[in-house]
Amino acid sequence: MTDTKAPRVKRKMPLDPESESWHKLPWRKFERHVYRIQKRIFRAEQRGNVRAVHKLQKLLMKSRAARMIAVRRVTQENQGKKTAGIDGIKSVHPKQRLEMADLLHPKRIRHRKPQPVRRIYIPKPGKTEKRPLGIPVMLDRAHQHLVKQALEPEWEAKFEPNSYGFRPGRSCHDAIGAIYMQINKKAKYVLDADLKGCFDNINHEALLQKLKTYPALKRVIRAWLKAGYADNGVFEETPSGTPQGGVVSPLLANIALHGMEIALTEAYRPKEGKPNFVRYADDFVVFHPTEEGIFKAKVVLEAWIKDMGLEMKPSKTRITHTLQEYQGTIGFDFLGWTVRQFPVGKTHSGKLHQRPLGFKTIIKPSKEAEKRHIAELGEIIRKNRHVSQEQLINKLNPVIRGWTNYHKTVVAAKTFQRCRRNLFQQLQEWGRRRHPNKGKRWIARKYWHVEDGAGWIFKDEKATLWSHDLTHIQRHTKVRGTASPYNGDLLYWSQRLSKHPMLSSTKGKLLQKQEGKCRWCGLLFQDGDLIEIDHITPKKEGGGEELSNKFALHRHCHDVRHAKRVAGAYDKSQIIEEPDALKGASPVLKTSGRGDPPA
């Protein structure tokens, strides 16, 4: 029987009045108001004025601006915005968003008991075991983000300089940069350690005591920690730990682990030599010139983390050396990279005071990370044996670009070449499976095209596969000391954002061109903002892919722009014009003059 149903026609429907009121809120004013209070919290904590910190935190959590931004963050921006809690709610309409913001007022939310989180399991990269996640309901997520807006500036003023995980303005690349700076002039012993079930075993009372916040906020956080979780409909209590998946959980884990570096350095006398410490979330490394110094560091840290209810994971904790063989190994793996020093001649050696060191420090993608990446590409190809070449390319490109962007700050050129060769073989097998009766030459002519200087390119008329070795090596500048996005030097952070290795080259160019500002709302992009690229003139209306027809904007600004376009209420004049170069506008590559020079 044939389907006689008429095709659906997309019509330009007017915006719902409630939706329009949500989109018409003064978001630019809200962002500025919240950041102004956060900056005051940061500076009050730096002065040691605890009373002012608590007053400003209460002021922030009462403000309508902070409540609206918290709701927008969890309902429109977060990557897991469509993941439901135990109530099954995946999306929130504009009218409900406004009601949710009203419910978040401290006078109303304090009478509500947090609901248990929904326990789900996700696979760990390259392993058979799975990691448990706890997904709160939407209102609890918004409340947690509101609390995070108040707590984070206070603790950013306290956190140690070599803590890099789950902090605004800091990344894995800053952590590996710190490691390079600490060992590139001297070979050292290494304690490479990982904490066993960090998020699941943090002692609640020790964490709450460490927070030292005012009673009302302490009660709220205690309620979240004790809310429990539902696993396949069965409720379980949570006597310890902070649930992974919650908005505020990474911040609470960082607070729990704060003080490790201070305790470690205070345990050593000047004659022993101070150890170097780098931590990313629950992974950390300690460096010391002597073997005895590393054994002492392990004892000190084991005693310190025991007070928080934690212990080191034996299978992931080991002692090694960066240059010499120690217990059968040389160097160590950290965050997907292998860090090791190689003996070299004087022409290739690093130098200290113009004297050759006799070795060179090399950081490159780890063998395990490379194998996982090749396996992931193979799995994508296996699952898409019957799709078109264009569809396969569109599935592979984001994975290749993301992986190469992550590793492009280290010595990765040879690794990229190996990955390209492996992928070429996998794609050849994909072609042979599709055409078992055709020869290799026929398959090569159908799916590959030879271009001057580029070799064989896997492409069709609409899509081209991104080759690993097309990603150029780009060195990363480590973040400056204890610098934080809440210190007020927004131009410094915009500059760093435009050069972040995980941003595509197009986004980086647009951020420099736009001086780090969103072309829709005019605000400077900050770390954590979700940046999207949009076309000024859509492709359907004749717009091209050239850089002059693109601009970068916040995800929520992107949503507003397209909502107005669908409703027919869009006007190109709403796009904020770029400053004219002849007027001497200050580019993002210059500092604001309010802080130290950029790193």
112-138 pLDDT, tens digit each: 899 998 988 888 776 777 888 888 999
* Band of residue 462 on the pLDDT scale cut at 50, 70, 90: confident
pLDDT value of position 348: 75
pLDDT value of position 12: 39
Q: Is residue 31 domain-shared with residue 114, that is, in the same domain?
A: yes
What beta strand segments (E) does 124-208 contain?
130-135, 189-194
- Does residue 282 carry a pLDDT above 60? yes
Q: Is residue 52 domain-shared with residue 148, that is, in the same domain?
A: yes
Q: Is residue 440 domain-shared with residue 562, that is, in the same domain?
A: no
pLDDT value of position 516: 73
Do residues 187 and 104 touch, judged by C-beta distance below 8 A?
A: no
- Does residue 599 carry a pLDDT above 80? no
Domain termination site, one of 363, 381, 408? 363
Of the candidate ranges 33-42, 138-147, 269-278, 499-508, the one whose mean pLDDT is the lowest? 499-508
CA distance 243 to 232: 16
What beta strand segments (E) does 269-384 contain?
276-280, 283-288, 318-321, 332-334, 337-343, 351-352, 355-356, 359-365
- More reliable by pLDDT, 553 or 566: 553
pLDDT value of position 507: 74
DSSP lists the bridge partners of residue 278 as 285
Domain-embedded: residue 47: yes
Domain-embedded: residue 168: no
pLDDT value of position 18: 53
Domain-embedded: residue 218: no
The pLDDT of 468-488, averaged and rounded, is 89
Q: Which residues contact 314 (CB under 8 A, 6 or more apart)?
A: none
Domain termination site, one of 123, 158, 193? 158
CA distance 469 to 472: 7
* Band of residue 211 on the pLDDT scale cut at 50, 70, 90: very high
- DSSP assignment of 454-490, as one string? TEEEEB-SS-BPPPGGGSPP---PPP-TT--GGGS-H
Q: Is residue 351 domain-shared with residue 289, that is, in the same domain?
A: yes
Q: Where in the sequence is the domain holding 532, given as residue range(s)?
A: 490-567
pLDDT value of position 164: 93
- More reliable by pLDDT, 219 or 15: 219
22-60 pLDDT, tens digit each: 888 888 899 899 999 999 999 999 999 999 999 999 999
Q: How many domains does the chain have?
A: 4
- The two beta strands, 189-194 and 283-288, are antiparallel
Q: Which residue do the tokens 């170069």 mark?
A: 581
CA distance 125 to 148: 28
Closest CA to 101 of 157, 61, 155, 56: 61
Instruction: State the burial class of residue 179 (Cβ atoms within 10 Å of its Cβ: 0-12, 13-18, 19+).
Output: buried
- DSSP assignment of 447-464, as one string? HEEEETTTEEEEB-SS-B
The pLDDT of 217-236, averaged and rounded, is 90
* Band of residue 152 on the pLDDT scale cut at 50, 70, 90: very high
pLDDT value of position 244: 83
Q: Is residue 59 domain-shared with residue 148, that is, in the same domain?
A: yes
Residue 545: enclosing H or E segment and its boundaries?
none
Q: Is residue 372 domain-shared with residue 460, that is, in the same domain?
A: yes
Q: Is residue 555 domain-shared with residue 500, that is, in the same domain?
A: yes
Q: Is residue 53 domain-shared with residue 152, that is, in the same domain?
A: yes
The pLDDT of 491-519, averaged and rounded, is 75
pTM of the model: 0.83
* Band of residue 381 on the pLDDT scale cut at 50, 70, 90: very high
Domain-embedded: residue 151: yes
328-378 pLDDT, tens digit each: 899 999 999 999 999 988 777 777 666 778 889 999 999 999 999 999 999
Q: Is residue 389 domain-shared with residue 465, that is, in the same domain?
A: yes
Domain-embedded: residue 523: yes
Domain-embedded: residue 243: no
Do residues 165 and 280 touch, judged by C-beta distance below 8 A?
A: yes
Mapped onto helix, strand or coil, the DSSP state of residue 63 is: coil
Q: Is residue 143 domain-shared with residue 53, that is, in the same domain?
A: yes
Angle between the 367-383 and 389-407 helix axes, to the nearest 10 degrees?
170
Domain-embedded: residue 185: no
Domain termination site, one of 158, 178, 201? 158
pLDDT value of position 598: 32
- More reliable by pLDDT, 512 or 473: 473
- Does residue 67 carry a pLDDT above 90? yes
- The two beta strands, 337-343 and 332-334, are antiparallel
Q: Which residues contact 159 (CB under 8 A, 6 or more apart)?
A: 167, 254, 258, 482
Domain-embedded: residue 295: yes
Q: Is residue 430 domain-shared with residue 496, that is, in the same domain?
A: no
Q: Is residue 23 domain-shared with residue 63, that is, in the same domain?
A: yes
